[in-house]
Structure 1
């Protein structure tokens, strides 16, 4: 209500109104538990805010009607009882009128003609005190044993009806998840406490309308808590900057588009489109000279890959390369700092003409694709992507500048330390603010779990008559049920999120308190259920697939004993569970103790001295 009454520039009035409204409700209901909304606002000094009592009552009724959300599990229970011919009565300790409650129950399919609706403020009796149960018995001329009561309040819905002789069932699935409970605790001293509370309520409401299961819980508490605030800020920022069209870059951008579509009514002036880019399709288009400078840029970002894999990202097969090239290197050679200079030199001296020709051909088709998709239109536009180092952006903007076009602006969720700034006017908005970084595991989970979709990676572009089509590899996640689960969760949460009109500060604080916190907890302290689900996922880089959760090698265990970290990057928490099972926490403590010992310090010193020789 406070946000409907006062704009974000009047935050002091929002907070003052909220505090006074909460104080009055607490005092009125303490003195009269069965008070109604009119009695509540009789005690509220609306004139101090320049408002009328009737206007406030009308506004609260409208807001309550808009934000009340059904519990799908309870609806199913009601429908089953109705099908069995059971008489149904709805009891509520509530100051709102039965007309509003009935309207809401009817809208979502709970209430039917012939049902009973008993509201404490109208029956002058409450569940909490037990008097509402007595009145229901009198009204229906029935006995307690003829009824079964179900609710989520341990006292009013379980202990009290049992004392009155009713059969009672305590509904426990309506609780906040462990993550949502943590977010609520951590928001206590946040400037955006109310926004976090609202978001937790949204998450709970959506979860209760989805099947039980870790995949649904993670879709809500992990995927949505990270991606919904990101996309919402993209739209807020785009509106401020005057962007009229947003391109969501495939594949990672597919789920961002799903979210943005739910906010379309809030940002009707922004057109939403989906476009298919990939490193493998863009890299071959970006070589104008194929000299050592251009090649150095490419091979620097191909380090630790097999040479044949890196070559495929230039759109060239091994057999097409010169005889000198094939004599100098093997297909399986792994690129590193020592051999990359020679690779660049041999390539520039013997095969640059091949790359220039191939790049020119592919670039012409790619430019036709950009023109076809409206990228070269004179419309103020931006692109939306997941992020990391920005190679695709830099490549495309290089091409656009060479062709006399303006570079495009891009929104990134996050970047890594290797982020490429680019040249003049090559600008980007980064959602993860300075100092916040994504770990290797977080990047992997976002790319290969949160953003998974049915699209294959774009290999190249081909022209057929007047149309240009992206040619895609086989979809890595085709048929995976997690795709639809994630989409359903983010769509439902976005629909409710759009009603709340969060400011930029509130939106970002929701992300920090909820999404960013969840990213860290999955990395460092996943539940067993989370581990079991995530450990089944695969990641892919330069065409090489691998499991996200891997076992420690003997070398890793030795490194853990001495250094406290494995010999190569791992999802540590997952690797511990996969390697040691139920004893993982015990071994984690052992590694912490041994790596802190004097012996380990001496071994580390000896190793450092040996490497310097």
Structure 2
């Protein structure tokens, strides 16, 4: 039977305290950045530029030359002084103090474990701290005081002061001697598997392994040292959001740890690097632009950028029909494309804003009026519509009314007062921009619009200088089948825009549907996004010399979605999501599959697959081992993997020739 602990011992770094960089050594990169300021012009250039590696080597030499290998900060800077004899003692002291200053600046408390310490103290239990650390004890107390003043009052057993560390058990021996306890009467908590778990456990102490300070899979993917400082800081901020709150919700973690860093580079570059594009206002398109606008507003405020940022309530339903001046097969196809393969007689009626009875009269007899229509049936119906003068006249009247309402709404939002303005959205075909451009061009021939998109799946024929478009991350040549997941990450607090109506005051306002997708603890989700945006922007303000290049982070997180990130899939997978603008039959984004469902999936048609899951990679990572194996055997995915390796007709024929030759030889 275990003895009741007489002493509760806690590690300090990554147990009670942590830094808002993923790798603690990147504090030295920040120090290097500081040394490049003009006030340090008398320091050697290589010391300033390569301080991190110089600091690493100095600590290594100090460790080798120190008895017990427990080094101090003073000893490390003595080694730097030996490597740079031209440095004055005052200069070394100044650099050392900057390191201490940065440690204090970037430290924060880990709420969960601090709360545990305070609970022990409230019960009158003995709590001590034990750390393998080179920083002076007074500095460590200041760091602890920043997290909670009561921590700074605790007794600290410090390796650099005692010349004994936890790794070989020597520091625990000192604790037992001075506290007059046996190892079995100590309960130690720490993050290091060896020095905080294996070693004290082998000595007989009770242990608790704290593992939450370890980077998550998506934090670790872009914090690689080869990606540089900014990705490391990004991961550090995400980690801070997780650890600085006690029991943060998963919605908060998703917003602050994945969604915000996913879009931050796009939004930052949008507001920071477009100062010369001539746009007088930036309209963020509903609904994907809701979160992007919130982020842009925070970034502009903290960076002191003056941009007119507005929110435009639009949807495919509210603008497609409005852009039609005379119905024809081309614009009819575009309107019906908004149903995304979920067309019924009712959804087509809704999209064209005509009475269902008008369609009923021209419907071919073989079409089932209640079920989703096949593409063949849609094509047949389109032909019937074009051939019916009554249907065309009705649609043209509906389009004229929709155009008048959209024009009035755009006027009320100031769009017609700008010589040039920008539209901002996640993507993908920029067809809403084309529709708005078409509507405004008839009223304002010199209108100029520039679109900024996270990604683009195609470039339309309407893309001209007056109607320019820019894709940030996803280009038409490398479009991915994760676009719906990205849309779900940018969920708003309102439903889609159905149209516009005139208020009693005369202005036009949007008619909104009830929100179709909500995430549990939606406010926490938005709060996480805001907290990350605020901290990241604050970092850029404090370190203006840092190159704000987020491409490494963007690439890594995009790959996480492509391969299927388990955390994102778990949180978003069960949410119902409509595949089309007019589709009320919502299907789950990425549900967990049973073995039977996995078998059904691989033998289903494409449309049936979309009804089962809209993100197969998310479904795969959520499912148990048996369904995963079945999904891995999907012959269509295997065939796609093979054909992805051949990109030209010549390569395909070469591959087939090799297969035929191998078959004949056998």
Q: TM-score, normalised by structure 1?
A: 0.78
Q: Kindly indicate whether residue 312 of structure 2 is the aligned counterpart of residue 279 of structure 1.
A: no
Structure 1 CA distance for aligned equivalents of residues 368 and 602 of structure 2:
34
Structure 1, residues 228-251: CA drift from partner, whole Å, max 9, x if none?
333233333335647675433222
Structure 2 CA distance for aligned equivalents of residues 82 and 485 of structure 1:
31
Match of 1:477, SS? coil
Which consecutive residues of structure 2, in runs of 5 or more, have no partner in the other structure? 1-29, 38-44, 640-655, 657-666
Match for 1:583 among 615, 621, 626? Answer: 626
2:558 maps to: 516
1:107 maps to: 146
User: In the TM superposition, what is the alpha-carbon distance from 1:77 to its structure 2 partner?
Assistant: 1.5
Match for 2:537 among 498, 502, 517? Answer: 498
Q: Kindly indicate whether residue 350 of structure 2 is the aligned counterpart of residue 312 of structure 1.
A: yes
Match of 1:410, SS? strand
Q: Kindly indicate whether residue 58 of structure 2 is the aligned counterpart of residue 24 of structure 1.
A: yes
Structure 1, residues 7-59: CA drift from partner, whole Å, max 9, x if none?
9xxx9998633332333333334434544434433433679999943443343
Tell me, yes or no, if the aligned pair for 2:385 and 2:392 is still in contact at 8 Å.
no
Q: 1:293 to 1:113 in 2, by over 3 A?
A: closer
2:473 maps to: 432
Q: 1:280 to 1:46 in 2, by over 3 A?
A: farther
Which consecutive residues of structure 1, in runs of 5 or more, have no partner in the other structure? 597-604, 606-613
Match of 2:303, SS? coil
Match for 1:227 among 263, 272, 285? Answer: 263
1:444 maps to: 484
User: In the TM superposition, what is the alpha-carbon distance from 1:511 to its structure 2 partner?
Assistant: 1.5
Tell me, yes or no, if the aligned pair for 2:36 and 2:49 is still in contact at 8 Å.
no
2:42 maps to: none
User: In the TM superposition, what is the alpha-carbon distance from 1:494 to its structure 2 partner?
Assistant: 2.8
Q: 1:567 to 1:159 in 2, by over 3 A?
A: closer
User: In the TM superposition, what is the alpha-carbon distance from 1:78 to its structure 2 partner?
Assistant: 1.9
Structure 2 CA distance for aligned equivalents of residues 138 and 420 of structure 1:
81
Match of 2:550, SS? helix
Between 1:381-390 and 1:162-171, the stretch displaced more is 162-171
Structure 2 CA distance for aligned equivalents of residues 314 and 210 of structure 1:
51
User: In the TM superposition, what is the alpha-carbon distance from 1:75 to its structure 2 partner?
Assistant: 2.2
Match for 2:98 among 47, 59, 75? Answer: 59
1:470 maps to: 510
User: In the TM superposition, what is the alpha-carbon distance from 1:269 to its structure 2 partner?
Assistant: 2.7
Structure 1 CA distance for aligned equivalents of residues 151 and 340 of structure 2:
66
User: In the TM superposition, what is the alpha-carbon distance from 1:500 to its structure 2 partner?
Assistant: 4.4
Tell me, yes or no, if the aligned pair for 2:316 and 2:338 is still in contact at 8 Å.
no
- Structure 2 counterparts to residues 462-611 of structure 1, below 5 A: 462-464=501-503, 465-478=505-518, 480-481=519-520, 483-501=522-540, 506-513=549-556, 515-522=557-564, 527=566, 533-540=571-578, 541=580, 542-544=582-584, 545-549=586-590, 560=602, 571-573=615-617, 582-588=625-631, 591=634
Tell me, yes or no, if the aligned pair for 2:517 and 2:577 is still in contact at 8 Å.
no
Q: Kindly indicate whether residue 307 of structure 2 is the aligned counterpart of residue 265 of structure 1.
A: no
User: In the TM superposition, what is the alpha-carbon distance from 1:149 to its structure 2 partner?
Assistant: 2.4
Between 1:393-402 and 1:291-300, the stretch displaced more is 291-300
Tell me, yes or no, if the aligned pair for 2:496 and 2:513 is still in contact at 8 Å.
yes
User: In the TM superposition, what is the alpha-carbon distance from 1:67 to its structure 2 partner?
Assistant: 2.2
Tell me, yes or no, if the aligned pair for 2:385 and 2:391 is still in contact at 8 Å.
no
Structure 2 CA distance for aligned equivalents of residues 436 and 99 of structure 1:
57
Structure 2 CA distance for aligned equivalents of residues 283 and 48 of structure 1:
72
- Structure 2 counterparts to residues 37-56 of structure 1, below 5 A: 37-44=73-80, 52-56=91-95
Tell me, yes or no, if the aligned pair for 2:133 and 2:158 is still in contact at 8 Å.
yes
Structure 2 CA distance for aligned equivalents of residues 154 and 214 of structure 1:
26
Tell me, yes or no, if the aligned pair for 2:283 and 2:310 is still in contact at 8 Å.
yes
- Structure 2 counterparts to residues 60-139 of structure 1, below 5 A: 60-109=99-148, 111-112=150-151, 114-122=153-161, 125-128=164-167, 130=169, 132-133=171-172
User: In the TM superposition, what is the alpha-carbon distance from 1:125 to its structure 2 partner?
Assistant: 4.7
User: In the TM superposition, what is the alpha-carbon distance from 1:471 to its structure 2 partner?
Assistant: 1.2
1:611 maps to: none
Structure 1 CA distance for aligned equivalents of residues 346 and 550 of structure 2:
45
Structure 1, residues 525-575: CA drift from partner, whole Å, max 9, x if none?
x65x766654422220122312334779999969957x9999855644566
